[in-house]
Amino acid sequence: MSVQHRNNVNVLGDGPATLVFSHGFGCDQTMWCYLVDHFTNRFRVVLYDLVGAGQSDLTTYDSEKYGSLDGYAQDLAEVINEFASGPVIVVGHSVSAMIGVLADRAHSDRIAAHVMIGPSPCYVDSGDYVGGFKLEDIHSLLDTLDSNYLGWSSTMAPVIMGAPGQPALGEKLTNSFCRTDPEIAKQFARVTFMSDNRDDVVGLETPTLILQSTDDIIAPVAVGEYLHQILPNSTLCLVSNVGHCPHMSVPSACSEAMDSFLSLWTEGGDGR
């Protein structure tokens, strides 16, 4: 089975460096449609679907392999090896930010930088760490998903999207959630919300841009501040936005922040 077919890989644009866009839970590569055109005249752009999402090959889904984020990180590394050229910058939304970190840890010579949009290394409050959810809240969320995935999706997708005044975006995210195979989505949700990647991000030296919405029900500002504190080569940019998908609801604000960060690579350097 080819990587291209497994992950529905699409390559756009051209440039001295490659942007690999990796989507979040319940999404697929089409969620980047508001952002990618801004970069295709300066970068090679690689889009792909996580296995179980979008137009990926569902027959390649293995519950054991994808029982942790490591399986998705392995796939990302394979996508990079086959389709990227030059310095590679992983643009990861939500859980894919941590998938990018794991791929970086396993292949430290291949990823030159990260752009993390709404990242969270751990969603559960623990001691002084603020993840945004209590453990019982996560268990309740997962129980609801298990009993009524489509109902949960229809209710929660617009809330996750936020974006007051742009109801079409909430509808787009709802449709994406509902297209995802429910059984795969349930396991991916459990893997996502129960993961704790704080040890993986500590001291990661790869240059990182953290894009955090000012009002995000999934990843509060405190999480972005935490990541900025422990990532030695990070830049934190708070994007004025309500919701977890600023790349959709305020794409120009995201692209502006990314342009400044990515200028090191568009000028032909390695960014370091």
Identify the three-state secondary structure at position 100. Answer: helix
Contact present, 152 and 227 (Cβ < 8 Å)? no
Strand (E) or helix (H) holding 104? helix 95-106
Q: State the catalytic residue, choosing from 23, 28, 49, 94.
A: 94
Active site residue 216: yes
Residue type, 182: P
Active site residue 215: no
CB atoms within 10 A of CB 176: 19
Q: How many CA atoms lie within 13 A of 60 on its CB side?
A: 19
Active-site residue (options: 49, 75, 104, 216): 216
* Sheet arrangement for strand 18-22: 10-13, 44-47, 18-22, 88-93, 113-117, 208-215, 234-242
Distance from C-alpha of 100 to C-alpha of 123, rounded to nearest angstrom: 17
Instruction: Return the DSSP state at 164.
Output: T
| Cα–Cα distance, 133 to 117 (Å, whole number) | 19
Amino acid at position 140, single letter = S
Residue 205 to residue 201: CA distance in whole angstroms: 9
Nearest to 94 by CA among 203, 182, 224: 224
**Distance from C-alpha of 67 to C-alpha of 56, rounded to nearest angstrom:** 17
Spot the catalytic one: 23, 93, 114, 244. Answer: 244
Known catalytic residue at 109 = no
Residues known to be catalytic: 94, 216, 244
